[in-house]
Amino acid sequence: MREEYLDYRLQSSVLATLDSSYSGGEGVREILEKVNEQGIITEYRLLDEKKLIKKFMSQVYSDQGLAVYGIHDVLKMLKSGIVDTLIITDEIAYMHLEIKCNKCGNTQEKFVERINLINVKKEEFSKSCSKCGSDDIEIREKDIVDLLEELSASSGTKMEVISSKTEEGAQLMSLGNIGALLRFKPSH
């Protein structure tokens, strides 16, 4: 770095320069300890989060329509395959419920906050099927993060989890803990 032997295209990617007293594996361990102690990677990650949320919020407040937020809108866009980047906080606490009638096959989907899960399941089990009236109901539950990962992987969407303890995380939390940058504006 100091003698400028490093290719100029790589120089802008250097996060920090650290010295080591050792070579080999011991030197690598020492550098990793210094990186953790000094918070170098954490600071870099926070910068990435700031840029991402800034881009997201500018789209939310623009008329271009390239950002959506809220569990239902984001999932609709994710299922249609037009989400480029999915953004969630590390505090997202939804469960996905699939309520299926074993008699006629009627299926409903619900997104429930984790704290309400038991009450909602009790309520759903006490109801009968809206189509055939059967009481033979089956409920499958899945953590929302698992569902989002599956949907993201199947549509080639990048998924970013950001810290809820930062200012940017708080902004996303105010929009339901979930948002998405879209590849193109959806046709309504």
Residue 182 domain flag? yes
Q: Which two tokens stand for residue 131?
A: 């189509």
pLDDT, residue 42, reads 63
Residue 4 domain flag? no
- If one compares 148 and 166, the residue with the highest pLDDT of the two is 148
For residue 46, pLDDT over 80 is answered with no
What does the pLDDT look like over 67-83, one tens digit per residue?
999 998 999 999 999 99
pLDDT, residue 167, reads 87
- What CATH number is associated with residue 166? 3.30.1330.30
pLDDT, residue 88, reads 94
Residue 6 domain flag? no
Q: Which two tokens stand for residue 52?
A: 């991402």
Residue 156 domain flag? yes
Q: Could you tell me the residue range of the domain that residue 81 belongs to?
A: 24-188
Residue 140 domain flag? yes
Number of Cα atoms under 13 Å in the Cβ half of residue 109? 9
The residue with tokens 């499958």 is 140
**Structural domain tally of the chain?**
1
Residue 10 domain flag? no
Residue 29 domain flag? yes
What does the pLDDT look like over 116-136, one tens digit per residue?
999 999 999 889 888 888 889
Residue 147 domain flag? yes
